[in-house]
Amino acid sequence: MLNVKNTMLDALLELIAPHLCSSCGAIGSVFCDNCKYDIVYPDEDFCWCCGNAYRGRLCDDCRLIIKEIDCLGARSGGLQNLIGGLKFQYRRAAAKRLAGLMLPIVEQLSNDALLTYIPTRASNIRIRGYDHMALIARNIQKLSGRQVCRLIAVADSHLSQHKLSKTARQIAASAAFHLTANSVSGRQVVIIDDIVTTGATVRAAAQVLRDGGAADVSVLMIARQPSTTIRQSVKIA
Ligand SMILES: [Zn+2]
Ligand SMILES: [Zn+2]
């Protein structure tokens, strides 16, 4: 249930309280310059999309839908705290910092590529008071000078993603998205998402874009869930 009073209070505190580094606690920034060097890349012995064991970032199955995949780092340590702060602790300043950290990767993307993002579900926007992915997208747009469009819409669901099994996530995700009015015909599209775990969400979004005529779809995630926490039942490819 949304507690409007607390949300407003948190938003106010976020504005007036000094920022503390999400990783080391130093005063001054939501993520200090020292801690950004602690961001680690995920191993490349599993598919960064679906999480199945694979030598390389993208398994043969995911490559049928997604052309390339990249990320800022593994979901751990300070990066995990920074995203968590934005999503669950009303730390809106984290959106700008995350966009800044993403900038070198965004600048390497083809100039022809159309950038978009996975929108947040309406139920989560109501709880947070903002769409954290739209905030990140807006900040990436401001810093990079490249437009980040909203190309896909998400149907709301009462099911919380993290409570669902992998198969249930795939079914829920495939029914969730539809294209907005913008045309993607013949375009290269890059989907930006915050955290990828089973890949069900980005795969479903990529499929909708491909069905809409996109020439190819790549994924740029902020944080990839490390393989060790998702691989228990997966065979080596
Ligand atoms: Zn720090
Ligand atoms: Zn895969």
The rounded Å distance from CA 76 to ligand 2 centre is 21
Q: Which ligand is nearest to the CA of 48?
A: 2
Enumerate residues with CB within 5 Å of ligand 1 (an ion): 21, 23-24, 26, 32, 35
Q: Is a pLDDT exceeding 70 seen at residue 1?
A: no
Yes or no: say if 167 and 124 are a contact pair by the CB < 8 Å rule.
no
Identify the CATH number of the domain in which residue 157 sits.
3.40.50
Tokens representing residue 81 in the block: 């705290």
Assess if residue 237 is contained within a domain.
no
Assess if residue 194 is contained within a domain.
yes
Q: For residue 173, what are the domain limits?
A: 40-229
The rounded Å distance from CA 77 to ligand 1 centre is 11
Calpha distance 152→100 (Å, rounded): 24
pTM: 0.84
Q: Which ligand is nearest to the CA of 54?
A: 2
- Please tell me the predicted confidence (pLDDT) of residue 211: 94
Q: Which ligand is nearest to the CA of 224?
A: 2
pLDDT tens digit sequence for 96-150: 999 999 999 999 999 999 999 999 988 889 888 899 999 999 999 999 999 999 9
**For tokens 């680690």, what's the residue?**
40
- Please tell me the predicted confidence (pLDDT) of residue 17: 72
Mean pLDDT computed over 54-76? 96
Yes or no: say if 55 and 66 are a contact pair by the CB < 8 Å rule.
no
Assess if residue 132 is contained within a domain.
yes
Q: What does each C-alpha distance from 166 to 51, 53, 170, 223 come to in angstroms? A: 10, 15, 6, 18
The rounded Å distance from CA 55 to ligand 1 centre is 33
Q: Is a pLDDT exceeding 80 seen at residue 166?
A: no
- Tell me which of 126 and 71 has the higher pLDDT: 71
Yes or no: say if 198 and 170 are a contact pair by the CB < 8 Å rule.
yes
- Looking at mean pLDDT, say which of 23-37, 52-66, 162-176, 217-231 comes out highest: 52-66
- Please tell me the predicted confidence (pLDDT) of residue 18: 77
Yes or no: say if 217 and 189 are a contact pair by the CB < 8 Å rule.
yes
End-to-end CA distance of the chain: 44
**For tokens 């790549």, what's the residue?**
218
Assess if residue 3 is contained within a domain.
no
Measured in whole angstroms, how far is the alpha carbon of residue 106 from the centre of its chain? 13
Mean pLDDT computed over 80-106? 95
Assess if residue 18 is contained within a domain.
no
Calpha distance 235→233 (Å, rounded): 7
- Please tell me the predicted confidence (pLDDT) of residue 84: 95
- Tell me which of 156 and 52 has the higher pLDDT: 52
Assess if residue 236 is contained within a domain.
no
Q: Is a pLDDT exceeding 70 seen at residue 72?
A: yes
When divided into structural domains, the chain yields a total of 1
- Please tell me the predicted confidence (pLDDT) of residue 227: 78
Q: What does each C-alpha distance from 156 to 108, 133, 152, 163 come to in angstroms? A: 33, 15, 13, 16
Assess if residue 83 is contained within a domain.
yes
The rounded Å distance from CA 191 to ligand 2 centre is 16
The rounded Å distance from CA 56 to ligand 2 centre is 10
- Please tell me the predicted confidence (pLDDT) of residue 135: 96
Assess if residue 89 is contained within a domain.
yes
The rounded Å distance from CA 174 to ligand 2 centre is 16
Mean pLDDT computed over 168-188? 77
**3-state DSSP assignment of residue 25:** coil
Element (H, E) at 173: helix 166-174
The rounded Å distance from CA 48 to ligand 2 centre is 7
- Please tell me the predicted confidence (pLDDT) of residue 155: 75
- Please tell me the predicted confidence (pLDDT) of residue 195: 96
